[in-house]
Amino acid sequence: MSKYQKIQIKQAVGVVGAGSFGLTIAGLLAENVEDILIYTRREENKAKMQARKGEYAQLSPKIRVTTSLEEVAKDCQLIFPVVPSKGFRNMMQQLGPLLNPQHFLIHATKGLDSSLAPKEGKIKPEHIKTMSQLIELESLACRVGCLSGPNLASEIQEHQPAATLIASKYTEVIKMGQAALRSPRFQVYGTHDILGAELAGALKNVVALAAGLLGGKGLGMNIWALLVTRGLSEMIHIGKAMGADVKAFLGVAGIGDLIATASSTKSRNYKAGVALAQGTPMREIVGADGDMVEGFRTLEIINQLCQALEINSPIFEIVHRVVFKGMELERAIHFLMTYPYAVDVDFL
């Protein structure tokens, strides 16, 4: 047992979603937990994972694989859902009926959901849900949390040190998450501001995408720093309009993750921006990695929200035009460089 562990976790811990970050979380859990159950939808993946073949060769022997959500809900009190936002509600509609108020759910998805919005007409703030709100909507689970921070999966898989934030209204969820994940290679902070942590994690992907656009054009660090600073300011304004506090945006899940994602060629959001700037058609990027560029979905949802609430967010608006309306990047940069900004720090 790790010396950081205050609560001893004796039961199996579940991970739903056997992608890059689900496997990373399972690997972190293996430092503290004896029995980890990871859910994959695909039988062929289950076979490969069980045989520890190919990309699964390094899987800890403590990790069991299942294609049964019933088994996850029955065996595990603590479950980490780690599926892209696009599939999250659908996943919860299957998992939700199997859960009860004794379950603890800590998701790690950095995105938003707008599936409750009507097909026609304007989106309203109440149509936009974070993943913790979807968990509450689709299940009886109330001990809900989120994990968010500068956590590029490949670095953690290489055992490089990193930190994250577990956010929940419930202290017991934060403590349980810390006990499960904390180790000398993974620092885990805690906060009760779950909305702030979720929004910071989702919104930073859009700024990372924008940073990739600049990187793809070969632009330097001055404009990168300007983008990140003003992008953070817009993230905070949008977050506040959605009911969040400023704090999370200034911590590991906000500025911390923003720096990591907006400067790393390991980030899929950053890489998508680079590809767009270098002329790769949108359909090719979406075709290759579409669900995984969370920033695209978030950008569409936030653009509608900003219009509905008349939020002034020039960077988000112009990135939307570049990504979805074919605006030339040079024009977009000119627009922002001549934008009548007046105040530097306007969110404190």
Ligand X SMILES: NC(=O)C1=CN([C@@H]2O[C@H](COP(=O)(O)OP(=O)(O)OC[C@H]3O[C@@H](n4cnc5c(N)ncnc54)[C@H](O)[C@@H]3O)[C@@H](O)[C@H]2O)C=CC1
Interaction mask 202-231, ligand 13P, x per CB under 6 A? ---x--x-----------------------
Q: How far is the CB of 335 from ligand 13P (least distance, A)?
A: 25
Q: State which of residues 130, 151, 183, 304 lies at the interface with ligand 13P (CB under 6 A).
A: 151
Active-site residue flag, 204? yes
Q: Closest by alpha carbon to 302, among 248, 238, 213, 255? A: 238
* Count of positions on this chain that bind ligand 13P (CB under 6 A): 13
According to DSSP, the residues that pair with 12 across neighbouring strands are: 76
Our finding on whether 257 is near ligand 13P (CB under 6 A) is: yes
Query: In this structure, how many other beta carbons lie within 10 angstroms of the beta carbon of residue 170?
Result: 15
Q: In the range 136-165, which residues lie near ligand X by CB under 6 A?
A: 151-153
Residue 115 assigned as binding residue: no
Q: State which of residues 269, 303, 304, 313 lies at the interface with ligand 13P (CB under 6 A).
A: 269
In angstroms, what is the C-alpha Rg of the chain? 20
Our finding on whether 267 is near ligand 13P (CB under 6 A) is: yes
Our finding on whether 183 is near ligand X (CB under 6 A) is: no
184 by Cβ neighbours in 10 Å (0-12 / 13-18 / 19+) ranks as exposed
Q: How far is the CB of 265 from ligand 13P (least distance, A)?
A: 10
Distance CA 338, CA 341 (A): 8
Our finding on whether 91 is near ligand X (CB under 6 A) is: yes
Q: Which residue has the tokens 């632009």?
A: 219
Distance CA 253, CA 25 (A): 16
Q: How far is the CB of 72 from ligand X (least distance, A)?
A: 11
Helix (H, G, I), strand (E, B) or coil at 65: strand
Our finding on whether 268 is near ligand 13P (CB under 6 A) is: yes
Kindly name the residue from 204, 240, 266, 271 that is annotated as catalytic.
204
87-114: burial string, b at 16+ Cβ within 10 Å, e else = ebbebbeebbebbeeebbbbbbbbbbbb
Distance CA 233, CA 229 (A): 6
The residue among 148 and 233 lying less far from ligand 13P, judged by its C-beta, is 148
Q: Which residues bind ligand X (CB under 6 A)?
A: 17-22, 41, 82-85, 87, 90-91, 108-111, 151-153, 292, 294
Mind telling me the catalytic residues? Answer: 204
